[in-house]
A and B are shown apart, each in its own frame.
Chain A
């Protein structure tokens, strides 16, 4: 693995009695994309904000380039924000409606004493980087479309030349056609500027496209973490398998092969004992209630080795089967 940029250990955040993030450990290397996936309320957005200390953690450790972020005073933290930025989900709520785009992009430069001689030039350069025109600097956010606004949000994040950007569902509020453009922009910027992303998402198709590694969260905990290819080809945790099986497949009859989870996500105020997933897990056993599985070798499940392996890449196999039948028919 290449050079480590961010190391998070045992991160915990309790909002009064709600255990939003309940002991999460992961790391991000320079220039890679760690995707954090999970359903609504699993704590993935909170985790992203904890890393940036936009929310103060209850417990745990966050090290950025070896430096303990949680030990920083408020002024030191403000200065450190130069290295870590965030892109928001809602392109309509994340831009101050009373500031022009130019003012918005100039502000970070002002705060961190960057490009003091020629801030206007830098603003134009940033707009160019995200595919907007220099004259857009004079306009207000309401004059832009959702996709353009998201580009402005991205420009604001890269203005200070950060090393890490937390992307909090950056495309889930956009049209599918715009999603692709924004994702490509993010990948392009990553290559050009050497950025590392923590990419928070629930859309697995997007994750599959952009991630280097994937962490799957359920009820405040990481249940599985693996390289993208490995995770999509061989999901080990039963929850990951259910998630992957839920990806819609454009094929008649595919819906029948989904793994349906029963019930709802339990309350984070009073999570189940032992394994948080056991109440909905089709393979749960007595041990799951008694003993909490730890994340070992990238998976937090006592019995993942015993669970029957899912058909490998089911869609592809089905397509190949039909192709073979077709070919066989023509041979006769």
Chain B
């Protein structure tokens, strides 16, 4: 449960940023431009004298928010559509599945970039773009899980007892397909964090001067030789956050699998 520990740590970092950050993440200082890490600035300073540690702490908010909110959007869209496709079958399923296939044919990040560019650059729009781009995976996963559960005897028993369709789906099918979806959601958060960083790197996510790991990397690339600390810290943060969500996802998969408990 190392993953869980790290995820909790990052969440605390983001939540407590106003109190634990040693400096204002937006305050510039002409006397401290691109200073190497020191006691005053543990992670160094950036090209206009802002404290990198403070910006990394505040940047955790953008990354976590983007990860969680965009996955919530994909779940909110993908789950009902997948349930519909899997349960109804027939031409409804055909239509939804073909549309999903078409969306999956576009690489996730390219689709997110195109959508974000279309919606206009802002963190909110980036989250919407990422959420929509990740939806087809959830549709497909939900549909597949429904297909395997709906032929179970207990679903037929639910029909035999006289359950209406909506109740069969919500009460008998949904609880039995949640485990793989929760695992996929945790893994998708990791992908969404990377996507947010990428969009911010391209200027399509968090807008300056507000801090985000992706946009920090973007400016840092110009000074990679003179001030490598500007890139190292946000880069390492992205790496660690993604790794811990992946570990959490793996852990959850094992924990939710009845054969493992």
Chain A residues packing against B (C-beta within 8 Å): 49, 52, 54, 78-79, 81-82, 85-86, 88-90, 93-99, 107-108, 111-112, 142, 153, 156, 159-160
A112–B176 CB distance below 8 A: no
**B150 at interface by CB-CB < 8 Å:** no
A94–B153 CB distance below 8 A: yes
B176–A88 CB distance below 8 A: no
Closest residue to B175 on the A side, CB-wise?
Answer: A98
Chain A residues positioned under 8 Å from B258 (CB to CB): 97, 142
Chain A residues positioned under 8 Å from B158 (CB to CB): 96, 107
Give, as a whole number of angstroms, the nearest-CB distance from B140 to chain A.
Answer: 23
Q: Mark B159-175, 1 if CB is under 8 A from A, else 0.
A: 11111100000011001
Chain A residues positioned under 8 Å from B160 (CB to CB): 52, 54, 81, 85-86
Give, as a whole number of angstroms, the nearest-CB distance from A99 to chain B.
Answer: 8
A97–B164 CB distance below 8 A: no
Closest residue to A80 on the B side, CB-wise?
Answer: B162
A78–B164 CB distance below 8 A: yes
Among B153, B161, B172, contact of A88 (Cβ-Cβ < 8 Å) = B153
B162–A111 CB distance below 8 A: yes
Give, as a whole number of angstroms, the nearest-CB distance from B121 to chain A.
Answer: 43
**Given A79-B162, A94-B157, list of 6 further CB < 8 A pairs?**
A85-B161, A90-B153, A94-B154, A95-B154, A96-B158, A111-B163
A107–B163 CB distance below 8 A: yes
Given A54-B156, A93-B153, A95-B154: A108 in contact with B161 (beta carbons within 8 A)? yes
Chain B residues packing against A (C-beta within 8 Å): 152-154, 156-164, 171-172, 175-176, 258
B161–A160 CB distance below 8 A: yes
A321 to B156: give the CA distance in the assembly, Å: 52
Chain B residues positioned under 8 Å from A88 (CB to CB): 153, 156-157
Chain A residues positioned under 8 Å from B162 (CB to CB): 78-79, 81-82, 108, 111-112, 160
What are 23 A-B contacts with C-beta separation under 8 Å?
A: A52-B160, A54-B159, A78-B162, A86-B157, A88-B153, A90-B153, A93-B152, A93-B153, A94-B153, A94-B157, A95-B157, A96-B157, A96-B176, A97-B258, A98-B176, A99-B171, A107-B163, A111-B161, A111-B163, A142-B258, A153-B157, A156-B157, A156-B161
Chain A residues positioned under 8 Å from B171 (CB to CB): 99, 107
A81 to B168: give the CA distance in the assembly, Å: 15
A78 to B163: give the CA distance in the assembly, Å: 7
Give, as a whole number of angstroms, the nearest-CB distance from A137 to chain B.
Answer: 17
Q: Give the 7 A-B residue pairs with the shortest CB-CB distance, closest first.
A: A94-B153, A81-B162, A98-B175, A93-B153, A96-B154, A78-B162, A108-B161
Chain A residues positioned under 8 Å from B159 (CB to CB): 54
Chain B residues positioned under 8 Å from A98 (CB to CB): 175-176
A94 to B225: give the CA distance in the assembly, Å: 65
A111 to B156: give the CA distance in the assembly, Å: 15
Closest residue to A141 on the B side, CB-wise?
Answer: B154
**Most A-side CB within 10 Å, residue of B156, B157, B176:** B157
Chain B residues positioned under 8 Å from A49 (CB to CB): 156
Given A111-B162, A111-B163: A97 in contact with B176 (beta carbons within 8 A)? yes
A81 to B258: give the CA distance in the assembly, Å: 33
Chain B residues positioned under 8 Å from A90 (CB to CB): 153
Give, as a whole number of angstroms, the nearest-CB distance from A239 to chain B.
Answer: 29
A78 to B175: give the CA distance in the assembly, Å: 23
A79 to B164: give the CA distance in the assembly, Å: 10
A154 to B184: give the CA distance in the assembly, Å: 37
Chain B residues positioned under 8 Å from A86 (CB to CB): 156-157, 160
Chain A residues positioned under 8 Å from B153 (CB to CB): 88-90, 93-94
Chain B residues positioned under 8 Å from A153 (CB to CB): 157
A159 to B160: give the CA distance in the assembly, Å: 12
Give, as a whole number of angstroms, the nearest-CB distance from A183 to chain B.
Answer: 20
Chain A residues positioned under 8 Å from B157 (CB to CB): 86, 88, 94-96, 153, 156
Give, as a whole number of angstroms, the nearest-CB distance from B158 to chain A.
Answer: 7
Give, as a whole number of angstroms, the nearest-CB distance from A103 to chain B.
Answer: 9
Give, as a whole number of angstroms, the nearest-CB distance from A326 to chain B.
Answer: 52
A78 to B233: give the CA distance in the assembly, Å: 62
Closest residue to A79 on the B side, CB-wise?
Answer: B162
Chain A residues positioned under 8 Å from B154 (CB to CB): 93-97
Give, as a whole number of angstroms, the nearest-CB distance from B47 to chain A.
Answer: 55
Chain A residues positioned under 8 Å from B172 (CB to CB): 96, 99
Chain B residues positioned under 8 Å from A107 (CB to CB): 158, 161, 163, 171
Closest residue to B178 on the A side, CB-wise?
Answer: A98
A112 to B164: give the CA distance in the assembly, Å: 11
